[in-house]
Chain A
Amino acid sequence: MSRNITWLNLGVIVVLAAMLLLGAACGPTPTPTKVPAMPVPPTPVPPTPVPPTPTPALPPETVVILQPGEASTLDWHKHCDMNAHEPDRNIFDTLLRRDMKTLEIKPHLAESFKLVKDTVWEFKLRKGVKFHNGEPLNAEAVKFSLERFVDPKTAAPGRGVVALIDHVDIIDEYTVNVVTKEPFPLLPVRMTSGHCGGNVAIVPPKYTKEKGDAYFATNPVGTGPFKFVEWKKDEYIKLEANTDYFLGPPAFKYLVFKPVPEPATRLAALLAGQADLIINVTPEQIPRIEASGVAKVKETTFGAFMIMTKITNYVQPGPWTDKRVRQAINHAIDLDTIIKAVLKGHGSVLGLPLEKEAFGKNPKLPEYYPYDPEKAKKLLAEAGYPKGFEMTIHCPNRRYLNDIEIAQAMAAQLEKVGIIASVQVWEQSVYATKWRLKQLLPAYIVAWGGAGLFDGDIMTYWAHTGSALSIYSNKEVDKLLDEARATMDPEKRKELYWKLQELLYEEAPVIKAWQQSHIFGVSNRLDWEPWIDNILLMYYAKLRK
């Protein structure tokens, strides 16, 4: 009798356990129990739509954006941080800006700019623009901002890329001459608003000097469409519409950025009506958003990161120093299939890492090493490794969209031609330290671009021996890059970059690069299109009534 009861208890345990796990997992969406009989396309069964509910949690006239992390500082000159950049870009302005569609560099705070001589650029400023505190935007402000940025004492993380700026001359109240140490063809690009990397925002000189850097970092003042209101660390950064904005006031009153690290939580917040815009949506989350009825997905591939697997030819000895081996590795990888499976097609193969839209892109190059495992094996045999070899591919921990899965899939494909590749994932801070010390060998995944550079010059950072992060070395490549950097004539510069790409094609210093889409989840009430390369420029957004 008593034994029977205990057995009954056990039954209860098991049943409850199963219910708990399954119930918990399937609580939000009914379990798709259909058993597929025939070959099924590998698409997930979309969950049943949640009935749209009113979203009382979001205050009116306020747009709430969820970012993956907390901003470091709001002083544009002092960070290299995406999470700080998004609010900053709505607070500050730059002299120039790219056109969203044509990529053409257009005036913004500057009315016009021109090259006076090889080392002098003249900028004429827009009149009547005021900082949020009432200070006027004038030549003095531009001089102060640019010189503050390149001053070593400021320790701006992006200083290196505009270090060629020597000083700024004030010509009159609304005209400045930027004098560079050497010819600097990229100067206009650096005056646009890209991601970290030295794009210089204009800050108010009087305010910054009076209040000091520490105060400025938490109480920024710019000329942008939104004014800073409050920053409560780890909770929110609140901005208010700048009704005096020189292009006209924004369409809604408040803009709030909140840090929410966990992707599943960001998605939940969007679905529960507690966010207007979430960034870094993953391909797996797309069907859920689309089926929700309360939000939609926006996607852009424009100016996306170029994610590449760099492979060394000199830092660590091994088979990879032979270019045939590097070519073989490229032939062995079927990146198209990987992107289709792992990114669900939300990305594209780039090959040699230079954007299609970039200045100096060579359109005549053939596809970068088409998938051909037989040829890969042949090349390996020629190089003296018919049986393959072992290597490590280092991968960041979810810095890029499904990066770990892509690395694993590449490793599995390499195994088929005999190369035993193991994927080593490192925590973000360790990864960043190790890549600078050139300890991620022989190959590691890293992204470049997204900085609004769109110029062949970006190849410097992964191909030039002298670049801090490059693990590839080739004298001829270095020479071409240096020459192009100092050439002011666009046609000549373009030719140099074309030649360089032919050389790099042959040398194969990177494993096929790809671009990932930027995917956003947007609430139904927000009318917004992604701007150039992932930029959250909220000035052009509207709230639907």
Chain B
Amino acid sequence: MTNSLNRVLKQDMRGIWGALGFVLRSPKATIGLLIVIVIVLFAVVPDRWAPYKPNEQFLQYALMPPFSRTGNPQSHMFILGTDQLGRDIHSRVIYSARTSVIIGLTAVFISGLIGVTLGLLAGYRGGLVDDILMRVADIQLAFPFILLAIAVIGVLGNSIHNIILVVGIANWVIYARVVRGETLSVRERAYVEAARTIGASSIRIVLRHILPNVSASIIVIATFGVASTIITEAGLSFLGLGVPLHIPSWGAMLADGRRFVDTSWWLAVFPGIAIFLTVLAINLLGDYLRDVLDPYVQMRRTLQQQ
């Protein structure tokens, strides 16, 4: 009885372990996953890891290099140094994870949702719908991003919502155009024609036959989207349209830090590394997902295994 239960549990364990092992079999995906887990931990409970509050100022200890121990007795330790207001860079890098995660994911979700929907619609329907949607896309693309940014963020204030909105709206077109392009190509394929002739509904065809076929591109673009949002946020900070001051963000730290690049390199380098690792991790996972989701790559893998 107990033995058989144990055996079942063990089998289950093997199953879970197996699933994890599947991910772990790809070292790139593993690294990506680990970094993402760390970032998510930072984002969810930053106070658990950060030694100071992100906005706590020690004006008298401004611009201390990394590993500075100071105070009397030596009570303050700034592992990654302090910035121009004596704020702990280490803590700010940790707290910034939340900002970047929120902005990155939400903005990509918004642009992805708009872009994929319109792209599928335009590509599948074609004709006038396609023309109109693509012209709307053209208007969006032809309209300079900075103007939109200044109009929305500059006038309504630089809240996180506004930044997400601006970045989300500004980036839907690439999804729409790539998805449309691929849909145009996919809908002419034999199996879609076949589905159509047996009377499958349009929605069903789009969701079952077309969407899976364009998903590889969507994932690659979305991966880039998260990364590019984080970079865009830095660019907005460079133009003075970044997140509000009381919210720490890597982009703002990097933009601020450029003024100190010659004298206090640590201001920009650590948020820079954080951005790099995040982008790297997302890309590693994205590549993995693409391989898993892409039927052709899967097929090829199976063939190779044979």
19 A-B Cβ contacts within 8 A? Answer: A3-B27, A10-B28, A18-B273, A21-B276, A22-B269, A25-B272, A36-B69, A39-B71, A45-B65, A264-B261, A337-B59, A337-B60, A342-B84, A402-B84, A408-B85, A412-B57, A424-B244, A426-B154, A427-B240
Determine how close the nearest CB of chain B comes to the CB of A271; give it in whole angstroms.
Answer: 9
Q: Is the CB of B27 within 8 A of A404?
A: no
Determine how close the nearest CB of chain A comes to the CB of B270; give it in whole angstroms.
Answer: 9
Determine how close the nearest CB of chain B comes to the CB of A521; give it in whole angstroms.
Answer: 13
CA distance A409 to B263 in the complex (A): 21
Cβ of A422 under 8 Å from chain B: yes
Determine how close the nearest CB of chain B comes to the CB of A28; give it in whole angstroms.
Answer: 7
Contacts of B272 in A (CB 8 A): 21, 25
Contacts of B265 in A (CB 8 A): 25-26, 29, 31
Q: How large is the interface on A (under 10, 10 to 19, 20 to 34, 35 or more residues)?
A: 35 or more
CA distance A166 to B264 in the complex (A): 57
Cβ of B190 under 8 Å from chain A: no
Cβ of B63 under 8 Å from chain A: yes
Q: Is the CB of B31 within 8 A of A285?
A: no
Within A269-292, which residues are at the interface with B (CB < 8 Å)? Answer: 282, 284-285, 287-288
Given A42-B62, A337-B60, A341-B59: A29 and B85 interface contact (C-beta under 8 Å): no
Contacts of A412 in B (CB 8 A): 55, 57, 85
Cβ of A468 under 8 Å from chain B: no
Contacts of B65 in A (CB 8 A): 32, 34, 36, 40, 45
User: What are the 3 tightest A-B residue pairs by CB atom distance, in nearest-first order?
Assistant: A397-B240, A44-B263, A427-B154
Given A284-B260, A404-B245: A21 and B269 interface contact (C-beta under 8 Å): yes
- Contacts A17-B277, A424-B244 aside, 8 further interface pairs with beta carbons under 8 A come to A36-B70, A282-B259, A284-B84, A284-B263, A284-B264, A397-B240, A422-B244, A430-B155
Given A287-B263, A342-B62: A425 and B240 interface contact (C-beta under 8 Å): yes
Within A391-413, which residues are at the interface with B (CB < 8 Å)? Answer: 397-398, 402, 404-405, 408-409, 412
Cβ of A423 under 8 Å from chain B: yes
Cβ of A304 under 8 Å from chain B: no
Determine how close the nearest CB of chain A comes to the CB of B73; give it in whole angstroms.
Answer: 10
Q: Is the CB of A17 within 8 A of B280?
A: yes
Partner pick for B31 among A10, A398, A422, CB 8 A cutoff: A10
Cβ of A37 under 8 Å from chain B: yes
Q: Is the CB of A284 within 8 A of B273?
A: no
Q: Render A23-63 as a binary contact track against B, CB cut-off 8 A, 1 for contact.
A: 00110110110111101101111110000000000000000
CA distance A20 to B57 in the complex (A): 31
Cβ of B143 under 8 Å from chain A: no
Q: Is the CB of A7 within 8 A of B27?
A: yes
Contacts of B246 in A (CB 8 A): 422-423
Cβ of A102 under 8 Å from chain B: no
Partner pick for A429 among B67, B84, B154, CB 8 A cutoff: B154
- CB nearest to B269 among chain A residues: A25
Contacts of A18 in B (CB 8 A): 273
Contacts of A45 in B (CB 8 A): 65, 263
Residues of B whose CB lies within 8 Å of any CB of A are 27-28, 31, 55, 57, 59-65, 67-72, 74, 82, 84-86, 150, 153-155, 157-158, 240-241, 244-246, 258-265, 268-269, 272-273, 276-277, 280
Cβ of A263 under 8 Å from chain B: yes
CA distance A7 to B28 in the complex (A): 8
Q: Render A336-370 as a binary contact track against B, CB cut-off 8 A, 1 for contact.
A: 01100110000000000000000000000000000
Contacts of B273 in A (CB 8 A): 17-18, 21
CA distance A422 to B85 in the complex (A): 16
Determine how close the nearest CB of chain B comes to the CB of A16; give it in whole angstroms.
Answer: 10
Partner pick for B259 among A20, A25, A263, CB 8 A cutoff: A263
CA distance A532 to B55 in the complex (A): 39
User: Which of A7, A267, A341 has its CB near the most chain B CB atoms (within 10 A)?
Assistant: A341
Contacts of A424 in B (CB 8 A): 157, 244
User: Which of A10, A42, A341 has its CB near the most chain B CB atoms (within 10 A)?
Assistant: A42
Contacts of A7 in B (CB 8 A): 27
- CB nearest to B59 among chain A residues: A341
Q: Is the CB of B245 within 8 A of A423?
A: yes
- CB nearest to A39 among chain B residues: B70
Q: Is the CB of B154 within 8 A of A13?
A: no
Partner pick for A425 among B60, B158, B261, CB 8 A cutoff: B158
Partner pick for B59 among A22, A26, A34, A409, CB 8 A cutoff: A409
Q: Render A228-245 as a binary contact track against B, CB cut-off 8 A, 1 for contact.
A: 000000000000000000
Contacts of B280 in A (CB 8 A): 13, 17
Contacts of A426 in B (CB 8 A): 154, 157
Q: Is the CB of B259 within 8 A of A264?
A: yes
Q: Is the CB of A40 within 8 A of B155?
A: no
Contacts of B59 in A (CB 8 A): 337-338, 341-342, 409
CA distance A409 to B259 in the complex (A): 18
Determine how close the nearest CB of chain B comes to the CB of A378; give it in whole angstroms.
Answer: 24
Contacts of A423 in B (CB 8 A): 245-246
CA distance A404 to B155 in the complex (A): 18
Determine how close the nearest CB of chain B comes to the CB of A32; give it in whole angstroms.
Answer: 6
CA distance A47 to B264 in the complex (A): 9
Contacts of A429 in B (CB 8 A): 150, 154
Determine how close the nearest CB of chain B comes to the CB of A23; give it in whole angstroms.
Answer: 10
- CB nearest to B268 among chain A residues: A25
Determine how close the nearest CB of chain B comes to the CB of A24; give it in whole angstroms.
Answer: 8
User: Which of B74, B84, B276 has its CB near the most chain A CB atoms (within 10 A)?
Assistant: B84
Determine how close the nearest CB of chain A comes to the CB of B176; give it in whole angstroms.
Answer: 29
Within A416-447, which residues are at the interface with B (CB < 8 Å)? Answer: 422-427, 429-430
CA distance A45 to B265 in the complex (A): 10
Q: Is the CB of A408 within 8 A of B262?
A: no
- CB nearest to A288 among chain B residues: B262
CA distance A46 to B153 in the complex (A): 37
Partner pick for B276 among A17, A337, A404, CB 8 A cutoff: A17
Contacts of B28 in A (CB 8 A): 6, 10
Q: Is the CB of A40 within 8 A of B70?
A: yes
User: Which of A18, A39, A338, A412 has its CB near the most chain B CB atoms (within 10 A)?
Assistant: A39
Determine how close the nearest CB of chain A comes to the CB of B144; give it in whole angstroms.
Answer: 15
Determine how close the nearest CB of chain A comes to the CB of B104; give it in whole angstroms.
Answer: 19
Contacts of A263 in B (CB 8 A): 259
- CB nearest to B72 among chain A residues: A39
Contacts of B276 in A (CB 8 A): 17, 20-21
Determine how close the nearest CB of chain B comes to the CB of A373; give it in whole angstroms.
Answer: 14
Contacts of A422 in B (CB 8 A): 244, 246
Determine how close the nearest CB of chain B comes to the CB of A309; give it in whole angstroms.
Answer: 15
Determine how close the nearest CB of chain B comes to the CB of A75; give it in whole angstroms.
Answer: 28
Q: Is the CB of A405 within 8 A of B84?
A: yes
Q: Is the CB of B263 within 8 A of A288?
A: yes
Partner pick for B241 among A20, A337, A427, CB 8 A cutoff: A427
Partner pick for A341 among B60, B72, B155, B240, CB 8 A cutoff: B60
